[in-house]
């Protein structure tokens, strides 16, 4: 893993560390950087190897010699293990693959995102070239949704027989959430959870929020997450003239406690791999409005059976959907919540870890 920040991939990795020993599999961690809010938890749960040698160039990036150093260092550690898992797509998986060429261990890749739109937004030509070279040569690749698998095949031409889909899992705390509602607060509460990055489309959400205000529908908006876009998003929020009802929370904020008070969970993503926060909201019995982006939300929500789907990157359509559910909240909850809660059972930790154990023993 690159680090143990409070990201969905890191939290899922920690779940595997804690639960796979039940299936006779010991999981240790190798981190490129010894940092992140979950690092202390990881060190309590297992052995953590940390690679500190970054060899950053004058632009603050890890140069070719730094990456070669990472490959050699990981290959030395990997000789003590039976399987190496690239815990995140792209460089962590490239690092795992090239290290395994030296250490002779089998590799499992893990893809958490729809690579096609991600590389279109962020990928360099070298990253695209490496993806096309590496992924077709990996023995087993776990994708977090069918959509993520289709995107991987489109970008890399990986062998479909080597790709398996294992949905992300939900911490048991979300299933135990006791709904309290917005006690003493007259305004409906919208909640969004995820890193403050381009992918999550929070600028679109804030524009939709502004549209609600212009239509005379005041609501509270809570956004949970850190990231490079947060200062810009806070500036946009301040410009809406309703900053008192928009609140940003840090990544370590207990999300189940906020879900207990929320009326609607909103996912405004431009693209996803799975959409773990959507599944968590369903488990907590919170109505979901999500963009029908590539990929994940439509799979989780059963193409609209278990929540409301809207066109991505369209603030007006998102505002229309929010107006509809806010004005008919009881009816919308009656339509979706019970079915959504049943759907969330497919994302239990036990199912997730059992499927992972089967793949690892097979490799």
Would you say 219 and 244 are in contact if contact means Cβ atoms under 8 Å apart? no
Whole-angstrom distance, CA of residue 268 vs CA of residue 293: 9
Going by C-alpha positions, the residue among 344, 360, 345 that lies closest to residue 142 is: 360
In the predicted structure, residue 59 carries a pLDDT above the cut 60 = no
Helix, strand, or coil (residue 111):
strand
273 three-class SS: coil
- The whole-angstrom separation of Cα 83 and Cα 66 is 24
- Nearest residue to 287 (alpha-carbon basis) of 269, 308, 305: 308
CA dist 237 and 247 (Å) reads 9
Q: What domains can be seen in the chain, in order of their start residue? A: 8-169+348-362 (3.40.50.2000), 172-346 (3.40.50.2000)
pLDDT reported for residue 64 = 77
Model pLDDT, residue 51: 74
Query: pLDDT confidence of 54, banded at 50, 70, 90?
Result: very low
**DSSP states along 26-86:** ---EEESS--STTHHHHHHHS-EEE-----B-TTSSB-HHHHHHHHHHHHHHHTT-S-EEE
pLDDT computed for residue 86 by the predictor: 95
**pTM, rounded to two decimals:** 0.90
- Say which residue, 96 or 53, is predicted with more confidence: 96
pLDDT surpassing 60 at residue 57: no
The pLDDT of residue 4: 92
Give the tens place of pLDDT for each residue, 265-295: 999 999 999 999 999 999 999 999 999 998 8
Residue 182, pLDDT score: 55
Q: What is the pLDDT of residue 251?
A: 85
Considering the chain, what is the average pLDDT of its residues? 91
């Amino acid at each position: 893993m690159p680090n143990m920040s409070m990201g969905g991939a890191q939290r899922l990795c920690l779940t595997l560390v804690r639960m796979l020993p039940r299936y006779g599999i010991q999981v240790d961690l190798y981190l490129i950087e010894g940092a992140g809010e979950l690092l202390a938890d990881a060190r309590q749960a297992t052995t953590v190897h940390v690679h500190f040698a970054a060899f950053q160039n004058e632009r603050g990036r890890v140069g070719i010699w730094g990456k070669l150093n990472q490959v050699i260092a990981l290959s030395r550690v990997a000789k003590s293990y039976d399987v190496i898992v690239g815990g995140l797509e792209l460089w962590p998986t490239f690092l795992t693959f090239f290290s395994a060429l030296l250490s002779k261990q089998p590799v499992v890749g893990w893809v958490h995102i729809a690579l096609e739109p991600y590389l279109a937004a962020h990928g360099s030509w070298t990253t695209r070239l490496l993806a096309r070279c590496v992924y077709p040569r990996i023995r087993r690749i776990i994708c977090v949704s069918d959509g993520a698998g289709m995107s991987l095949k489109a970008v890399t031409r990986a062998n479909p027989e080597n790709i398996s889909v294992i949905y992300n899992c939900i911490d048991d705390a979300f299933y135990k959430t006791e709904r309290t509602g917005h006690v003493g607060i007259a305004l409906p509460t919208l909640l969004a959870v995820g890193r403050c990055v381009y992918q999550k489309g929070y600028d679109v959400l804030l524009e939709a929020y502004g549209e609600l205000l212009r239509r005379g529908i005041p609501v509270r908006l809570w956004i949970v997450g850190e990231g490079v876009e947060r200062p810009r998003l806070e500036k946009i929020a301040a410009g809406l003239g309703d900053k008192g009802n928009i609140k940003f929370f840090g990544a370590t904020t207990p999300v189940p406690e906020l879900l207990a008070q929320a009326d609607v969970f909103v996912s405004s993503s431009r693209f996803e791999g799975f959409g773990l926060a959507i599944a968590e909201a369903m488990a907590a019995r919170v109505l979901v409005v999500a963009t029908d982006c590539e990929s994940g939300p439509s799979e989780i929500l059963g193409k609209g059976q278990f929540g409301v789907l809207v066109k991505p990157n369209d603030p007006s359509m998102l505002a229309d959907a929010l107006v509809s559910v806010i004005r008919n909240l009881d009816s919308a909850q009656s339509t979706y919540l019970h079915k959504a809660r049943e759907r969330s059972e497919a994302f239990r930790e036990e199912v997730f870890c059992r499927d992972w154990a089967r793949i690892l023993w097979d490799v």
